[in-house]
A and B are shown apart, each in its own frame.
Chain A
Amino acid sequence: MDDKKLDKLLHEMKSDYENLPKFVDNQTVMQSVFQKRQFNWNKYIPTLAAIAGLLIFVIITLGSIDSKQQMDKDTEDNGPLMGYFLDRKEAFQQSLGLEDVDDLGRVKHARKLVDHYEEKDNIEDGKHTIYQLLETPTMKIESFNNSTSSSGAPDYFVVQDVIAQLKDFQMTFQFLLDNRIANNMSKSEKQTIIEYQNDLQEYNFPDATEKLLSVFNKQGYFITLSEDGKMTAKVDYLYVIEKLDFKHSKSKAYKDYLWLLGTEIDPEKPGIGNDYGIEWTAFDEVLLSVEEFYSSYKNMDEQYRMFKGTLFHYTTIYLNDYLSAGVDVGDAIPKDGQQELKAFLKGHKKSKFWNLVYKAVEQYENNDWIRTNYKVSDQLVSKTIEADREYGGMVSDYDNKLEVTLLPLKDALLQTYEKYKESKDLDLLKDLSAFKVMQLFMYASDKGDFDTYYSLYDTNGVLADVGKEEIRQESAMAADTEFQQLAEKTNYILVDEKQEKKETIFYFVPSEDTDTEMRAFRMVQNEKGIWKVPYMPMQ
């Protein structure tokens, strides 16, 4: 299928979509919007039936608890912690929905702790440890949701605790996977599991397998299959979003962060080899997603600060793997890889990562496209992403990116400078861009040419009341290389055009290897449309 044919097909099928039948009539929509919902007993019958069922269950269970209490009492005679352990184990087993949990490492460990703490006569610590060991993800989530509903805003650390529990439990699920599901399974059988793990009723699995897979779903895990046939139990971050009760509006940042982890960034195997099936050629999209995420939440410090370090670490991995073009250091980067990196430079000029990709491509090009050991650090990624925070939060709004030499002036502009220096004729500036007038100003400043320098100021603004001599004294102008140095340390220039205010701000982004801070230079346009320099242009 070629581009042309696909385009044609896409355009043609549009008419079929236009002729889709009505799925709902206007009246129904209006009713759902405006009509007060009447209490519909029919609708609630299933719920009422469920409540009735639950009551019956509770009554029956209470009876059985009575008998169990009697049984546990016998056990408690052997030691006070044993009863607690048995109760907890039963709750754990019910939460998991498994018939047998005795072979699970954490159950065995909890059992050993009973003897240990009883020997030490430290029952309370023993209960605490056993409680944590035998707390399933759903139990943890339930406890999180209950605590947030009573205490107000969910706490990032509490959510982290839930995730930590899910990660901690991953070993248990891996054990279940290895010993009760994947044991002696062919690769095609494993493939079937991957395909239908969320769709259990669509495939006729053996009862035991189906039951176990539903435990994975219920507890927030999914299974991946590597090329070598290894099945891995992984935390489903989308499940965390779905199940956790995020009540606080500001938690959206964290929720979206989890969404990133559930869909694009594989937190356990980030970068090449990730379990989400994302190839290195699509890592640019992961990077752009991180940028989008950052732009959305950079000002929500209290949320964002807590996980930005981890996010930047993952970003570094994805960026380095993207820059690796999927080959090892010293290997030739194939044509496809070269094109991918070049396409990034062409398509994402405004990306914060553009400069880093550019550096890599430059190195590779100079090395006949043999991969060098170019690598970026966490710190550099952090600095790159947060550049606008450091420099006043305006870079993300820039309109253009210039990679031109600031100084010295090119011949044509130098000629204009010489002419203007002689005549101070503003008509010479008429057709010059803000950038070029700024260059003239910088050049005049470095030359110590005060008259030209002063004439480029916008004297309608703050300077209207300030005399030329005052400025002369203030500037104490002498020839120096201030702007020449700025030019040498500048990597590229970002342009922020504020058309409604008739001003343009240039940001000089320094090269990584300099310790220079980013500087900004403001230009304003006068009523005749000529670009001039305002008072205190440099920030």
Chain B
Amino acid sequence: MEEEDIIRLAKTGDKWAFEMLVEKYKPVIEKFSFQFGIKQEHISDVVQETFIKVYRKIHHYHKGKFSTWVYQITLNAARDFHRRKKRELKIMEKSVMEHKQSIGHLFDKEDYLQLHDYIQKLQQKYKLPIILYYFHDKSYDEIAIILNIKLPVVKTRIHRAKKRLKRMYEPDGNEEVNTHG
């Protein structure tokens, strides 16, 4: 059955169809949440919140790629979570280093863990395009739609994000964290 048919069924409230969507998109949402910086113990909350929103809003979905729409919902859910737990999350962002060991086993190489850590330290506006471009194979156009920004801005932000990441590898260059700004 094509995704389009599954979505049509899901819109009617069909549980099986919705479960098919959960099956397909849950790993993507989990991955995105983790990369976004949601703590492992909260990822389940964000995933559930995302699917509750998808279920409630699926009748609003009419055109465009469904996956793009799901990313938008996921991003909103993650941002809402971020706002609700703003102060808590600030703790999280700053203490990534301290949690390195707890997520260390998820990465094959120390280099990857280090880069994951640096990506976490980027401001959201830089972090999100990098995540979507490199780890979710999204095109510039799709990123522009998901993040609701213009195409040239996507390019600039990816360029700047990489510039900032490179700077973090320099001695004394690891100072991206800026809670305001």
- Using a CB–CB cutoff of 8 Å, the interface residues on chain A facing chain B are 1-3, 6, 9-24, 26, 28-30, 32-34, 195, 198-199, 202, 217, 222, 224, 236, 238, 241-242, 262-264, 266, 274-278, 282, 284-285, 288, 291-292, 296, 347-351
Annotate B150-174 by CB proximity to A: 1 below 8 A, 0 otherwise.
1011011100101001100110000
9 more contacts with CB within 8 A, not counting A6-B166, A13-B115, are A11-B134, A13-B135, A17-B31, A22-B27, A34-B15, A195-B94, A198-B91, A202-B94, A202-B95
| Contact indicator B22/A29 (Cβ below 8 Å) | yes
| Contact indicator A33/B112 (Cβ below 8 Å) | no
Of chain A, the residue at the smallest CB distance from B173 is: A1
The answer for the CA separation of A14 and B108 in the assembled complex, in Å, is 11
Minimal beta-carbon separation of A399 from chain B (angstroms): 12
The answer for the CA separation of A348 and B116 in the assembled complex, in Å, is 30
- Chain B residues with CB below 8 A from A28, complex form: 44, 48
| Contact indicator B94/A14 (Cβ below 8 Å) | no
Minimal beta-carbon separation of B71 from chain A (angstroms): 15
The answer for the CA separation of A361 and B47 in the assembled complex, in Å, is 48
Binds A, one of B1-9, B61-69, B82-90: B82-90
The answer for the CA separation of A14 and B132 in the assembled complex, in Å, is 11
| Contact indicator A29/B26 (Cβ below 8 Å) | yes
The answer for the CA separation of A195 and B97 in the assembled complex, in Å, is 14
| Contact indicator B152/A350 (Cβ below 8 Å) | yes
Of chain B, the residue at the smallest CB distance from A282 is: B160
| Contact indicator A276/B180 (Cβ below 8 Å) | yes
**B-side interface size class:** 35 or more
- Chain A residues with CB below 8 A from B86, complex form: 238, 242
- Chain B residues with CB below 8 A from A285, complex form: 125, 153, 156-157, 160
The answer for the CA separation of A20 and B90 in the assembled complex, in Å, is 23
- Chain A residues with CB below 8 A from B125, complex form: 285
Of chain B, the residue at the smallest CB distance from A12 is: B112
- Chain A residues with CB below 8 A from B170, complex form: 1
Among B112, B165, B181, the residue within 8 A (CB) of A264 is B181
- Chain A residues with CB below 8 A from B109, complex form: 13
Among B83, B108, B116, B179, the residue within 8 A (CB) of A242 is B83
The answer for the CA separation of A284 and B111 in the assembled complex, in Å, is 32
The answer for the CA separation of A288 and B111 in the assembled complex, in Å, is 34
| Contact indicator B94/A199 (Cβ below 8 Å) | yes
Of chain A, the residue at the smallest CB distance from B45 is: A24
- Chain B residues with CB below 8 A from A199, complex form: 87, 90-91, 94-95
| Contact indicator B134/A14 (Cβ below 8 Å) | yes
The answer for the CA separation of A236 and B160 in the assembled complex, in Å, is 26
| Contact indicator B156/A24 (Cβ below 8 Å) | no
Q: At the interface, yes or no: B34 with Cβ under 8 Å from chain A?
A: yes
